[in-house]
Amino acid sequence: MTTTATTPKTVNPDPQSADELIAYYQHVRAFTEKICAPMVTEDYVIQSMPDVSPTKWHLAHTTWFFETFILGNNYPNYEPLNKQYNYLFNSYYNAVGEQFCRPRRGQISRPTVSEVYEYRHYVDEKMADLIGRLGRDGALDSIRDLVILGANHEQQHQELMVTDIKHVLSMNPLRPTLYERAEDADPVGVPGLEWLRYEEGVYNIGLNSPRFSFDNEGPEHKEYVNAFEIGSRLVTNGEFLEFMNDGGYQRPDLWLSLGWAEVQENNLKEHDWEKFDKPLYWFKTDDGWMQYTLAGPRRVHPDEPVVHVSYFEADACARWAGARLATESEWEVASADAEVEGGTFSDSFRLHPRPLPLDAPGGRLHQMFGDVWEWTGSAYSPYPGYTVSEGALGEYNGKFMANQIVLRGGSCATPQSHIRPTYRNFFYAPNKWQFMGFRLTRDAE
């Protein structure tokens, strides 16, 4: 059903020439289809909850983005493959037109999966042609930044596709396997948690770079940060189980009021998987705790970072441990001492966090990038001097700066080339279907 373009394994993430830009575009687009390679038609169309979008919709929406913001304004006499797609696959861009109701995306049986792939390849051909034309005419700068934005937008949806299809498949009592993965080695323990100290001071926060970034990552500005200590690694399943076994979900003193309300409300629900008394995808068997992964059911490995927990759960567990979550400024300050390389990203197709090796070197930060998105204690709000871009693209980030919490660092479902220390992800506090985890922080004495 699908065809995947042949592209280099690595490409320049800051393409300058037309050939580099085409290779970069094709590389990102091909990886999207590689994610879908083991899927069957039925997998593409299910919407398991309002926050989840069918894979078919993600494939079409990322294509719509290039069609709407680049081809429609730059390709001579461009003719859409189907003009109704502008309504079906617009997500939230009110300046572009009306959108189909998000919670009902799973009701769109047509276009078919095959027709969506036809749509993707139609737009891909036009995009390659346009980039080549503008390169020859010396006018590539007119769309270069938009193409890079569209590719980064697609990488965001690659992660959403992975997280959404995991939720979809988890609803199936058969608990199917989508990506084969060998069992991890038996537990051997993880290095003891070390507290790494950062002194008080005025720090530069935010991105100041000619390379691509989303508008919410800037402008660079100065922030005063009190002295703090941050954990050398992520909180593990074993440590979270200690919180659970110590009655963590039964102690209102550990919870924010809204979090405690979530615990009470969801524990009245009929289905065990809906209850708010464990990380998402965990289930109890006679042999102990298990969890659903995209490689099928696996035992809860105590050495792995805990994943699929809400902000409320992360905050409660941190309080139980006598600590707290880092502010996003503290996290960014500390991340300067960490390496992006070495984390688990979607490129590996493991799509599950790895345990930190027992022999990992001491006195340094580990697992800051990849593995799990780390909840911070910071509300998602604009930096000083932030301005919303004009036009429809101004709706990309700024309109969501209310009632959401910042996460940092990327996850095992994030492409490695997509992440950087200043990247600001954001979700609502009860959300847990993304690959969300946390590390401990405390005030320095």
Bridge partners (DSSP) listed for residue 288: 285
Distance of CA 402 to the CA centre of its chain: 19
Instruction: Output the average pLDDT for the chain.
Output: 93
Q: Per the structure block, which two tokens stand in for 304?
A: 């792995």
Element of type H or E holding 293 = strand 288-293
Q: Report residue 220's pLDDT band, with 50, 70 and 90 as the boundaries.
A: very high
Tens-digit pLDDT profile for residues 407-426: 999 999 999 999 999 999 99
pLDDT at 7: 38
Distance of CA 150 to the CA centre of its chain: 16
Over residues 209-229, the mean pLDDT reads 92
Taking the C-alpha atoms of residue 110 and residue 119, their distance in angstroms, rounded to an integer, is: 13
pLDDT at 92: 80
Taking the C-alpha atoms of residue 341 and residue 438, their distance in angstroms, rounded to an integer, is: 19
Contacts of 97 (CB under 8 A, 6+ apart): 86, 87, 90
Residue spans per domain, the chain: 18-170, 195-443
Tens-digit pLDDT profile for residues 296-333: 999 999 999 999 999 999 999 999 999 999 999 999 99
pLDDT at 358: 95
Q: Per the structure block, which two tokens stand in for 134?
A: 């503008």
Domain 195-443: state its class: alpha beta
Exposed / middle / buried, residue 250 (Cβ in 10 Å: 0-12, 13-18, 19+): exposed
pLDDT at 392: 58
This prediction's pTM: 0.94
Taking the C-alpha atoms of residue 230 and residue 332, their distance in angstroms, rounded to an integer, is: 11
Q: What is the CA radius of gyration of the chain?
A: 22
Phi-psi region of 28 (alpha: psi -120 to 50; beta: other; left: phi over 0): alpha
pLDDT at 9: 56
In DSSP notation, 296-328 reads: EEEE--TTSBP-S--HHHHHHHHHHTT-BPPPH
Tens-digit pLDDT profile for residues 89-133: 998 887 788 999 999 999 999 999 999 999 999 999 999 999 999
pLDDT at 3: 34
Tens-digit pLDDT profile for residues 244-280: 999 999 999 999 999 999 999 887 776 776 678 999 9
Over residues 43-71, the mean pLDDT reads 97
